[in-house]
Structure 1
């Protein structure tokens, strides 16, 4: 969608403002087609113009992503169904008494402006220049917030992840046989069999390969075994292939190692080239956290917004701090101690070493884009407005507990996706939907 979903009230901001001209609040005359009702959702209409505007946004998003464009009639049906689902969900929000006041919409609008390094007035002028009606823009924001709030109440708050869920997730991922999601780092010893070798010579070479396998299983240094015994080109590198997708490795190697854990040894295996002995150095399945992760040590200054400090004022203050620090007139740590409204203030804004997933997505995305020593522009999150500086980065091996904590987050995301899909289907099934004239995009 547009880069106008802000992390205000839980909406995520996705970068620079990029509102397509084709999604402006076009009138029926501008579109060249009189508007009409294409569906009713519990007696509430969905109009052809709604479908057209959403379709244009979706098409632009697909084009920006560079993915294949579906047939237009297929896309029209998908867009209509998406609108119908959303309409049923917002109706349920009304039934539950969930509302979005003007202050929440204004906060979301300000968040978008700040995230795109614009003032609220500049944002409105930009929208006007793109032909986008501000009232329609704010209504879209209101619906986004409303959908998020009803989903949080009906789905997010009910999802719990137990230790049994974590164990099930790990077993599922380890048992996943999808080669497209499996990566292996194998070490390899090849005992080559010359063309035309006699049976006696083949037996001798097989015994040599078996000796290598036995020594490897007994704990011998595999890299040394490769350098001493392998006839393969990678012998100089200790026999290492490096991490590769399983579908880029010989089927013989994958079939022999896919059920082994790291450290497992397979072979000798016979191929036309000779006898192979393999050791699994590293194994990674998509969906599982890496045992080694990049950790970042960062500092921040947080200003919380509210009646005493608007978001725009917080952004302006932090932009001033940034300029003072960059020019050498002020020190980041000192400003954090004096002004930051966060528990890290007493440590000069130091957040300690943090791995992936420890911060909210919008904060982590901005932090990861910085090199050590760099500062961010003022960043809006659900907690307020931040100024971030990255101090250091390092590679760290996760403890078993840390890996389980990361898996807990992955398992929760999976349960949320499943629960949201079930709730969406249930909400739709309980709505009365009447299709009228087909959309004419």
Structure 2
């Protein structure tokens, strides 16, 4: 079974049972029974008004172990793994609950679409996916519920970021003009040892000691991925702390200079950040390059069906106009101004200006690739109606500066969004009532305080 690639951008980093890609999870099966027939389950944690059952925890742990079946040595001891998984289940419960409080709802149709996406990524039909889920021991209803939770968390993330992140042109200008601006991209992995909101001096000291312990393990030969799984408490810990490729200016300023001075394969010292201690590995890097694209200059005539014109009549009118242009050599711009129903180009004689290939949508892009300069397309249909397209010309254009501004905007947005949601999650966890009922599942430091 292949994993789902990028179903839900944020939810897949937040969901515990589906940590990086949607998977088929086995249904919980308790080993203990009463009189050999009744499965035994228990509540392992109370999360506000919700509970986490032993069976849920067992399912999630089993899923993680399946992912690392070929490299089990990278996983921490079972007791550590259980606590890590439980912590992520707690955070998932809190996020889903918060999304519900904000009125986030997911329809059956949306879940159906998510199921279809999972099936497509796994090269299956939805029916084959359902069969595979049930053969793995999990109910398909539970699988759908997991996807619904992921969708809700994704929308919660969007709501938080939308309400708290703004980007101005001045910020973009300042970033590009800054002497510390660094272009290029880096592939990073990290280990995060978080400090709770309102942390005491003892909490900070304990986090720093744990970070140093992780760093010592890496220096002693432990693989960074294994160390991230064992020591990190970030949401991506069970994926080895992999942050993927990032623009240099997406990196928090507190760490940017450190990363800029590193070479691929190097690991940083334990760095103090606003949310805790971080150990960063520079996996790889790549330099920026000039971006040259092909731009097209074209004109179009659009005939829309309406209450007065049926789809068939619209098609016929487009055919008639095409013949007038091709056979009678009538002026395309004049006919566009008189007949086109596209509000953005009609008054300009159908002139679409210079644009990149996909700017006007996939249907027009496909036609452009088949035309030569000066050539007129036969009428073709899109969701908007019937089009006639004339390619005026093509050119190569250097869009590096524009791309840099877009990248700067994205870098600022990503940095702000990441920090905003990290702060949101810390506050959410701090404000929640969480009671771990099984002593072995409590953090060792928490057990020492009790």
TM-score (norm 2): 0.46
Structure with bigger RCO (C-alpha 8 Å, 6+ apart) = 1
TM-score (norm 1): 0.47
